[in-house]
Amino acid sequence: MTLLDFFLWSLLKVVVVTVLLLMGVAYTVLLERKLVGRIQNRWGPHRVGPFGALQTLVDGAKLFFKEDLFPSAVYRPIYLLAPIISFGCALISIAVVPFGEPGIGPKGFDIFEISNINIGLLVILGVTSIGVYGIALAGWSSNNKYSLLGSLRSAAQLISYELALGLSLVGVVLRAGSFNLRVIVEQQAHKGIATWNIFGGFQFVAFFIYITAAFAETNRSPFDLPEAESELTGGYHTEYSSMKFAMFFMAEYANMITVGCVATLLFFGGWTSPFGNLIEPPQNIVVHALVPIFWFALKVFCFLCLYVWVRGTLPRFRYDQLMNFGWRYLMPIAILNIIGTSLWLAYR
């Protein structure tokens, strides 16, 4: 494969993954509105398009054409940069996520991952951590007391839950011996559900810590204190309107999809079948490529439904409860999980 072919294929992958992620964001919003509506015994969107399927497109057009206001007291450079940081980091983090079997493509070219690097897990953790600075800078640059309080809460959540989230993944890394996401998936691929990390690897405690910390990292209910409308009038994005607000909104849902992808790869075998090698893989190359994509998408979809279910079920934490839960419970349990995994691997 020539350098030009490599460049063109890479550009095509970037475009396709970006478009699919943005479509996923749009229809995750619709999924949430539909499921929360059913939880609350109402229909949800059902007028625009069949079963309300075009509602998110209309909402996007409305935000695009809405008047773009600039409050007079904001610090403009950072005020404009903050949503770009949040949205940009949400898009970048998907670049190292593998979606299917490696080497399926022309001349063995990997078409199901933009970039396969050995420290893929660290890249995702680093990029998503930087994304939180968009929220912190938005609150500070808005020159609004409610926005500032929301950004301070976001910084507190970052410090409190980023440590627990990172420590929860150490057990998975110890089992696989690598930060490469493909290696972690291949280590779980032998016997299906029996060798997934959450079951065969005894990482169910790590999964609970990860998914709880991920809710806090993405500012989702019951950890949505940075934008608590009953206390902060909207929090860090109070002074934002039009597409600047939409970028924060889209970043939150893109991060939800990334969290679901990472949880699928680390704990649920990625694109591998729950039945492992018990079922003969299909011989047709197209089917062989699409079946792993189906399993991967199904698992991510289940995580998105879990996000919505939790939002429609649990009330928001108080600020002191947020701090206590992160430091007094998740952190010690994550450390104990590392110790237990290390002993299990040493004396296995």
Q: Identify whether 120 is part of a domain.
A: yes
Question: Can you give the pLDDT at residue 131?
Answer: 83
Closest CA to 227 of 194, 202, 205, 249: 249
Q: Is the torsion defined by CA of 128, 118, 258, 162 positive or negative?
A: negative
CA angle 120, 121, 127 (to 5 degrees): 85
Distance in angstroms (rounded) separating the CA atoms of residues 257 and 266 = 14
- For residue 306, being part of any structural domain is answered with yes
pLDDT at 223: 86
Domain-embedded: residue 9:
no
Are 30 and 52 within 8 A, CB to CB?
A: yes
Which pLDDT does position 309 carry in this prediction?
A: 92
How does pLDDT run across 86-127, given as a tens digit for each residue? Answer: 999 989 989 899 888 776 766 667 778 888 888 889 999 989
Q: Specify if 259 maps to a domain.
A: yes
Asked if the structure places residue 4 within a domain, the reply is no
Enter the DSSP assignment of 49: S
Instruction: Give the pLDDT confidence of 304-316 residue by residue, as tens digits.
Output: 999 999 988 888 8
Asked if residues 235 and 334 have their Cβ atoms less than 8 Å apart, the reply is no
Q: What stretch of H or E contains 289?
A: helix 285-311
Residues 6+ away with beta carbon under 8 Å from 67: 241, 242
Segments in the chain below pLDDT 70: 1, 103, 105-108, 201, 277-286, 288
pLDDT for the residue 299: 93
Q: Is residue 37 part of a domain?
A: no
Q: Which domain holds residue 250?
A: 66-346
Residue 36 located in a structural domain: no
Domain annotation covers residue 108: yes
The per-residue pLDDT for 66 is 84
pLDDT at 282: 60
Look up residue 175 and give its two tokens: 């089992």
Listed residue (319, 146, 316) closest to 231, CA to CA: 146
Question: N- to C-terminal Cα distance for the chain?
Answer: 44
Would you state the pLDDT for residue 285?
A: 65
Number of domains in the chain: 1
Burial label for 203, CB within 10 Å (0-12, 13-18, 19+), is: buried
Residue 120: predicted pLDDT: 86
* Longest Cα separation, the chain: 65
CA nearest to 289, candidates 110, 108, 100, 116? 100
**CA angle in degrees (0–180, nearest 5) for 261-200-346:** 110
